[in-house]
Structure 1
Amino acid sequence: MKLHLKNIALLSAVLGASLACAGSVRTQPASPAPDNGTFDVEQLFAGTCGFCHSSGGRAAGKGPQLMNSPRDDDFLRDRIKNGKEGAMPGFAGAFTDEQIDQMVKYIRALKPREG
């Protein structure tokens, strides 16, 4: 019985520590993407945006198709930075203005994939 109680106490301590760590991670702001010339917009888009904007933004998914978007650059910048409640998170804390500008340029340069 003593061994059982010790195991329960140990598991409770581990669970408590895990929850404390998870809570602190959740409340930390997003870290900015590196601004050292290695910012790969296409790779970033595939990993961050591709879940909702299919085929690298070329097709609709959970989010709209971005290729040939009728929205102006200011709208796209604002949506990337601030998101849309209930639809898209904002990335102002994760990326610099220059990186967001690169994302807008990427969206504007999208062309259908060959093949």
Structure 2
Amino acid sequence: MARTLTVVFGTGKEFGFTIGDAELAAVTEDAGWRWFDREYAELDCQASSPVGKVLVIDKILSVAKFSGEPRFSGDAAWAQDYARHAARLLDRDKVRVDVGNAAISF
């Protein structure tokens, strides 16, 4: 069953992705963690938790926020990688990443 992931920015701009079964099967959970760990570090994201613990949801939100709307619109391959790895880690049929409100809903 295909997964859908939508990334929404405060400007009202939405980016929708469909991740097919074969595409999802090609990504392991470990690969998803490594991808987000690397992006999180490269973007110099800041932990939102005062104790410094970073949950997967925090990483997914932070990478979207610090990458920004221009990266999603200007780098389709990167955006699809983001969606693929987030879909693998969250393992839900429908995901909405609301960057403006710092929320992920299923």
Query: Would you call these one fold, judging by a TM-score over 0.5?
Result: no
Task: Name the structure where strand makes up a greater proportion of residues.
Answer: 2
Higher gyration radius (CA): 1
Query: TM-score, normalization: structure 1?
Result: 0.27
TM-score normalised per structure 2: 0.29
Higher relative CO (Cα under 8 Å, sequence separation at least 6) belongs to: 2
